[in-house]
Amino acid sequence: RITVAESESKEADLERLKNLIALVKRYPGKDNVFLRVEGSNGGSTMRLPAAAYSPELHKRLAEIVGELNVAVE
């Protein structure tokens, strides 16, 4: 699960979402990937493309959203 906080810039949030999706697609597999977006009106969860979890994917996701925002369940 990847968790991100909504920012004040919709453009920046959209760019981050595009980057996350592109990154996950580079590691195709069968592991479910969920993105939790926390905002001022609560939060929502969406499913991203399935991926093959690896330490490298974890590291690259953490570079985008921070280590504490990437969880393996």
Per-residue pLDDT of the chain (73 residues), as tens digits, is 999 999 999 999 999 999 999 999 999 999 999 999 998 888 999 999 999 999 999 999 999 999 999 999 8
Q: What single letter denotes the amino acid at residue 56? A: E
Q: Residue 32 in contact with residue 5, Cβ under 8 Å? A: no
| pLDDT at residue 26 in the model | 97
pTM for the complete prediction? 0.88
